[in-house]
């Protein structure tokens, strides 16, 4: 029996002045933007346009743990992966890293929609398989 493992995707971020808040570190809401940008980049990198154009995603739930601050000029990396697809939902995780140190981690539940009708749509096995390795 094959074992399924999530494929990791890495998305680089350079902290810019507009990311910084009054406390001189990256604003909490900006971490959420990093998470969404990394998820979108993973989606568009992994899924061919002829498939991705048929689907839209909306967020059902975000959970984020802020562990350490990031500062202006730092180079960060978002490590993201899909844990599972269940019916019309996707469970995605992210870690925002500076070097090997985790600054924040998140879990987002996304809902898959048909891009034409905006009705919930089951994620096909063809698409789900693009986010996993099998051994």
pLDDT number for residue 113: 98
pLDDT number for residue 69: 98
pLDDT tens-digit profile of 19-36? 999 999 999 999 999 999
Q: Token digits for 52?
A: 């991705």
Smallest CA-to-CA distance from 126 within 116, 112, 108, 109 is with: 112
Confirm if 118 and 56 have CB atoms less than 8 A apart.
yes
pLDDT number for residue 87: 94
3-state secondary structure of 130: helix
pLDDT tens-digit profile of 53-107? 999 999 999 999 999 999 999 999 999 999 999 999 999 999 999 999 999 999 9
Every domain of the chain and the residues it spans: 4-124
Smallest CA-to-CA distance from 103 within 13, 40, 43, 16 is with: 13
pTM beyond 0.75, yes or no: yes
Q: Token digits for 69?
A: 């601050």
Q: Token digits for 103?
A: 């600054």
Classify the phi-psi angles of 103: left when phi > 0, otherwise alpha if psi is within -120 to 50, otherwise beta.
Answer: alpha
Smallest CA-to-CA distance from 64 within 27, 22, 89, 99 is with: 27
Per the listing, tokens 């809902």 go with: 111
Instruction: Please check whether the domain covering 4-124 is classified as CATH 3.10.129.10.
Output: yes
């Amino acid at each position: 029996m094959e074992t399924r493992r999530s494929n990791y995707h890495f998305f680089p971020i350079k902290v810019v002045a507009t990311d910084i808040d009054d406390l001189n570190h990256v604003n909490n809401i900006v971490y959420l933007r990093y998470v969404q940008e990394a998820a979108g980049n993973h989606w568009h990198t992994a899924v061919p346009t002829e498939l991705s154009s048929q689907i839209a995603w909306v967020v059902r739930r975000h959970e984020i743990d802020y562990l350490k601050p990031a500062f202006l000029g730092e180079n960060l990396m978002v490590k993201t992966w899909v844990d599972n697809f269940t019916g019309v939902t996707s469970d995605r995780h992210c870690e925002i890293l500076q070097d090997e140190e985790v600054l924040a981690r998140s879990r987002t539940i996304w809902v898959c929609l048909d891009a034409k009708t905006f009705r919930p749509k089951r994620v096909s096995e063809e698409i789900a398989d693009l986010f996993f390795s099998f051994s």
